[in-house]
Amino acid sequence: MKSGRYIGVMSGTSLDGIDVVLAAIDEHLVVQLASYSHPIPLDIKNAVLAICQGQQLTLSQLGQLDNRLGKLFAQAVQILMDRQSLTREDVTAIGCHGQTVWHEPHGEAAHTLQIGDNNQIVALTGVTVVGDFRRRDMALGGQGAPLVPAFHHALLAHPTERRMVLNIGGIANLSLLIPGHAVKGYDTGPGNMLMDAWIWRQKGKPYDKDARWAASGKIILPLLQQMLSDPYFAAPAPKSTGREYFNFGWLERQLTAFPGLAGEDVQATLAELTAVTISEQVLLSGGCERLMVCGGGSRNPLLMARLAALLPGTEVGTTDDAGISGDDMEALAFAWLACRTMSGLPGNLPSVTGASEASVLGAIFPANPLHNQS
């Protein structure tokens, strides 16, 4: 393994910020050294949201967004490097996930697109970048997602305890770390995404802090039942999804049969949808002794309480309890995946994504050895 200091960059489906993490990685250890969250300007957030909901745009507009996101990722990395007084020689590589703008894992021409020009990051920081992690897996017949289960397994698997790791981001994904079994993992469906979309439309707030609004409402059971009948929830793994499917349009269609509901009741029902779809999958997958939650949803007390209530006999906690900040897990995973690629090691798990083989992932954008030499 090419050990060293790596930086991971993640801009997820929630568009709440760009997470950047510095980690020391070797064969046995991943040590988180520092992290930083960089804001995303509102016009960029709105442009990505519009694309994910199917809005048409010109190639020029797409190219400009790719350029601006690349510069934004570069700026975020540079701030972390400056704060840590790191020079380019101190960092082996940067693993940058990019911004997913479309994910379509089915059909004759399945595809997934993460943008944010990695060349911009190399040009500004002088550090080698690894990017485009998902498309090799897709070329091998896989879903291209989720990719974090391999990292969850490397970091959090236990020899005897049945564990599952749950990321509640915009989309929620579950990793099954069951001793004696191949690692499995898939997206369970919406995490915070629908709750975020609803409170944004109703109140102009980016998210329901500490679920205060949801907690003031009551669950509308017929609406919940109807939402639960969406075929995604019963579909077998491998499966992955995104904003192209579970978006505000999806929610509006669900609400047409229920006019005039109080906003807080819809919010309470959406929180319950997230908790129920996750807990059903945990139980259907045979249950676990410990559920370790990360992602922004692990900061939502209502979601955490509902998960604990729906999963009696399971120890429900956060990955922070195991020493890994739930806010940094995904960025850390892309630092680790970059290290795998730089070391010529596979990053995907066919048992998770359905790919025909394990493969080295991504593309390497090498640092310029002539940088700053004249």
Ligand X SMILES: CC(=O)N[C@H]1[C@@H]2OC[C@@H](O2)[C@@H](O)[C@@H]1O[C@H](C)C(=O)O
Q: How many Å apart are CA 243 and CA 190, to the nearest integer?
A: 9
Would you say 138 or 251 has its CB closer to ligand X?
A: 138
β-strand pairing of 184-190 with 363-365 = unpaired
Sole binder of ligand X in the list 193, 293, 330, 340 (CB under 6 A): 330
195, 211, 263, 265 from 215: Cα distances, Å? 12, 6, 12, 9
- Residue 169 makes contact with ligand ATP by CB under 6 A: yes
- Residue 295 makes contact with ligand ATP by CB under 6 A: yes
Residues paired with residue 171 on neighbouring β-strands, in sequence order: 190
Q: Say which DSSP state 203 is in.
A: H
User: Alpha carbon 3 to chain centroid distance?
Assistant: 25
Helices 118-125 and 59-83, axial angle in degrees (round to 10): 30
Structure tokens at 275: 């908790």
Positions in 184-213 near ligand ATP (CB under 6 A): 191-192, 196, 207-211
Sole binder of ligand X in the list 32, 100, 247, 353 (CB under 6 A): 100
b (16+ CB within 10 A) / e for 230-254? beebeeebbbbbbbbbbbbebbeeb
Sole binder of ligand X in the list 5, 68, 103, 299 (CB under 6 A): 103
Q: How many residues bind ligand ATP (CB under 6 A)?
A: 22
300 binds, among ligand ATP, ligand X, none (CB under 5 to 8 A by kind): ligand ATP
Sole binder of ligand ATP in the list 217, 296, 354, 362 (CB under 6 A): 296
Residues paired with residue 168 on neighbouring β-strands, in sequence order: 172
b (16+ CB within 10 A) / e for 33-63? eebbbbebeeebbebbbebbeeeeeeeeeee
Residue 12 assigned ligand-binding role: yes
Sole binder of ligand X in the list 17, 70, 116, 146 (CB under 6 A): 146
- Residue 350 makes contact with ligand X by CB under 6 A: no
362 binds, among ligand X, ligand ATP, none (CB under 5 to 8 A by kind): none
Residue 17 assigned ligand-binding role: yes
User: What would you report as the CA-atom Rg of the chain, rounded to the nearest whole angstrom?
Assistant: 20
- Residue 169 makes contact with ligand X by CB under 6 A: yes
232 contacts 241 by C-beta, under 8 angstroms: yes
β-strand pairing of 163-168 with 129-131 = unpaired
Residue 94 assigned ligand-binding role: no
112 binds, among ligand X, ligand ATP, none (CB under 5 to 8 A by kind): ligand X
Would you say 294 or 342 has its CB closer to ligand ATP?
A: 294
- Residue 362 makes contact with ligand X by CB under 6 A: no
- Residue 167 makes contact with ligand ATP by CB under 6 A: yes
Residue 15 assigned ligand-binding role: yes
CB atoms within 10 A of CB 123: 17
Among 172, 170, 201, residue whose Cα is nearest residue 186: 172
329 binds, among ligand ATP, ligand X, none (CB under 5 to 8 A by kind): none
- Residue 270 makes contact with ligand ATP by CB under 6 A: no
Q: Is 372 helix (H, G, I), strand (E, B) or coil?
A: coil
User: What is the binding site for ligand ATP (CB under 6 A)?
Assistant: 12-14, 16, 167, 169-171, 191-192, 196, 207-211, 295-297, 299-300, 330
Return binding residues for ATP. 12-19
User: What is the binding site for ligand X (CB under 6 A)?
Assistant: 12-13, 100, 103, 112, 145-148, 169, 171, 173, 187, 240, 242, 330
